[in-house]
Structure 1
């Protein structure tokens, strides 16, 4: 199953693959070079298909828990001052996605969308300390009657130049459901209340919609 944000790119990749294989067969006489070109095109297609994969996840709904919004590695756990929305101290948990990770963003908590804002910006490498404030990004706040308000931020990386965000202010969202997509390498930051009990460790790999971040 593939994410809808990748449909146009996948179709285009199939067209280019078919055309490339045909042209290689017609215009490249050397058998080995011909096959090398065709195999290279096939590898590129497979890479695109795996990037836009969208596996189904059986999320256990729980208003007392924050689940991982994306697949990836936990690269930051620290207390910081969040100055865009809360303007106070929060626990920041950052998850870095490599190009081989699933890039679907899922709602870490169910509830009401209180804030959703896109910010154009730079394309620093996603693990750069300033990426959270200077890169292209979206900031979304979900309000839950049990857990309170939780902010998550989709951050574009050096390769990612398009963030897709489905969260709209005023709508109710379901924990674990599709919240958007970040194309080609990125990171997601969570900003949690200081009394959150963390369930993850630094450098731990997590699976979006499944693994518990905090309670």
Structure 2
């Protein structure tokens, strides 16, 4: 289990808080009870930070014939929708709770052909696989400024399982599957980014 780089600031703040409170307690001679309260409080905060910013190692096996789940969470909706180009596509919605791992990964190997990051929600991302399969993703994060970090740009080549973004408080991802995709999940399923096969691509 690794610690995600996005958590370094939060970790530093917890350490700083510990030393600050310890110094105040020592200066005012708060006694053993106050010091133990500080230790317990900071230990709890430390455990929360380590949990929220955990980054488990995933044994990725790239496969151009499948789409891997881009996020950890629960499948909350699946429905056919009509995209702007009038294509009928299956929309798969994944809800990432604050208790899930918050890294979002690429479901396929290919290229980022479009990336629209907005100040509001959601941000829209379009990926194209090597076989020209087109996938659109809408990422809606918690409405907290600076809560989402993206690691991609347009025209960038990406590998299946490569990290696309980190959502500090979780969020919702809508994935629009290409017409050649056959869903391998159902509503209510728990999925893991980079390991769960979300759909199989057919020719």
Q: Tell me, yes or no, whether TM beats 0.5.
A: yes
Q: 1:180 aligns with which of 135, 147, 165?
A: 165
Partner Cα distance (1:147, 1:182) in 2: 28
- Ranges in structure 2 where 5+ consecutive residues have no aligned partner: none
The residue aligned with 2:110 is 111
The residue aligned with 2:74 is 73
Partner Cα distance (2:190, 2:180) in 1: 23
Distance apart, 1:88 and its partner CA: 3.7
Q: 1:154 to 1:27 in 2, by over 3 A?
A: farther
Distance apart, 1:20 and its partner CA: 2.5
Partner Cα distance (1:199, 1:27) in 2: 62
Whichever of the two has the greater Rg, that structure is: 2
The residue aligned with 1:4 is 5
Partner Cα distance (2:177, 2:88) in 1: 9
The residue aligned with 2:184 is 199
- Ranges in structure 1 where 5+ consecutive residues have no aligned partner: 122-135
Q: What's the CA shift string for 1:58-104, capped at 9, x where partnerless?
A: 11111111101111111111112344xx5543211111111121111
Q: For the Cα contact (< 8 Å) 1:69–1:108, is it kept in 2?
A: yes
Distance apart, 1:23 and its partner CA: 2.8
Question: Going by fraction, where is strand more abundant, 1 or 2?
Answer: 2
Matched position secondary structure for 1:15: helix
Partner Cα distance (2:142, 2:86) in 1: 25
Q: Which residues in structure 2 correspond to 1:157-168 (within 5 Å)?
A: 157-158=142-143, 161-168=146-153
Matched position secondary structure for 1:112: strand
State whether structure 2 residue 74 is matched by structure 1 residue 89. no
The residue aligned with 2:30 is 29
TM normalised by structure 1 equals 0.83
Q: 1:171 to 1:17 in 2, by over 3 A?
A: same
RMSD after superposition: 2.1
